[in-house]
A and B are shown apart, each in its own frame.
Chain A
Amino acid sequence: GESVGLHLPTLSVQEGDNSIINCAYSNSASDYFIWYKQESGKGPQFIIDIRSNMDKRQGQRVTVLLNKTVKHLSLQIAATQPGDSAVYFCAENMGGGFKTIFGAGTRLFVKA
C-alpha cells in the first residue's frame, strides 16, 4: 500500500493563535487535494478540499494553499481552539477510481 508511514510530527500552538500545517505530496499528476482531521480512535473527517486549477481556497476559519510547482499544500487554521487538537492529514487524489492517498500527518496540540 502507498503511504508515508512515518511517526507524526507535532505542532503546538497557543489558543487563539493561527496554525499552519504543511504537507508535501508525491504525485505531480494528482489533481485533487483534501485535508482531513482525525481525532483519537475515530475515522478521518473532511475539512476542506482544493482542485489543481486553484491555488487557494477558504472555508470557515480554514484556508488551504496549493503550490503545484513544489508539490506543497498547507492548511491554515485561524484563531485555533482547543477543539482543533487532532491529527491532520493531507490527501491526494490520483483520479481513475478516486483512489485517495494520505500524507504523513501532523498532530496539532492547542494550549489553553
Chain B
Amino acid sequence: GAVVSQHPSWVICKSGTSVKIECRSLDFQATTMFWYRQFPKQSLMLMATSNEGSKATYEQGVEKDKFLINHASLTLSTLTVTSAHPEDSSFYICSANPSDSYRELFFGEGSRLTVL
C-alpha cells in the first residue's frame, strides 16, 4: 500500500514556541492531504484540508493563524503549530490518498506534541 511518513514522531517544546510537523507521501503524489488531531481516548478530528499550490481549507473552529499549513509540493505538507500552549498538546496525524479515483486514506504514524 501507499506510504505516508510523518516527522517528527514526537516533540516536546516550551510554551510560546512554534513547532513544524512534516507529512510526506513516499511513493505517490498527493494533491490533497488532510491533517487531524486526536486527544487521548477520543476520535480523530479533522483540522484542515491541505491543497497543493493553494491555501488550506480549515474546519470550523480551527484557527488558521495558529495552525499554519503549507503544501508546497505534491509529496510534502507541513503543519506549524505557532505559539504553542499546553492545550495544543495532542497527537497530530496526516493522511493522503494516491489518486483521485480512490477514497481510501493512508495515514502517517502520527506526531505526538507535548507543550510544557
Whether B34 lies near A3 (C-beta < 8 A) is no
Q: Tell me the smallest distance from the CB of A84 to a CB of chain B, in Å.
A: 19
Known: A41-B112, A42-B109. A2 touches B41 (CB 8 A): no
Picked from B37, B41, B61, the residue with its CB within 8 Å of the CB of A7 is: B41
Closest residue of B by beta carbon distance from A51: B103
Total cross-chain contacts (CB, 8 A): 87
Whether A43 lies near B104 (C-beta < 8 A) is no
CA distance A5 to B45 in the complex (A): 8
Whether B103 lies near A32 (C-beta < 8 A) is yes
Closest residue of B by beta carbon distance from A46: B104
Whether B43 lies near A103 (C-beta < 8 A) is yes
Q: Does A61 sit within 8 A of B, measured CB to CB?
A: no
Interface string of A1-34 (1 = CB under 8 A from B): 1111111100000000000000000000000101
A-B contact pairs, 7 of them (CB 8 A): A1-B45, A1-B46, A1-B47, A2-B60, A98-B32, A100-B95, A102-B46
Can you name 18 extra interface pairs (CB under 8 A) apart from A8-B42, A101-B46?
A: A1-B45, A1-B47, A1-B59, A3-B42, A3-B46, A4-B43, A32-B103, A43-B6, A43-B95, A44-B107, A46-B1, A46-B105, A46-B106, A93-B103, A98-B100, A102-B45, A102-B46, A103-B43
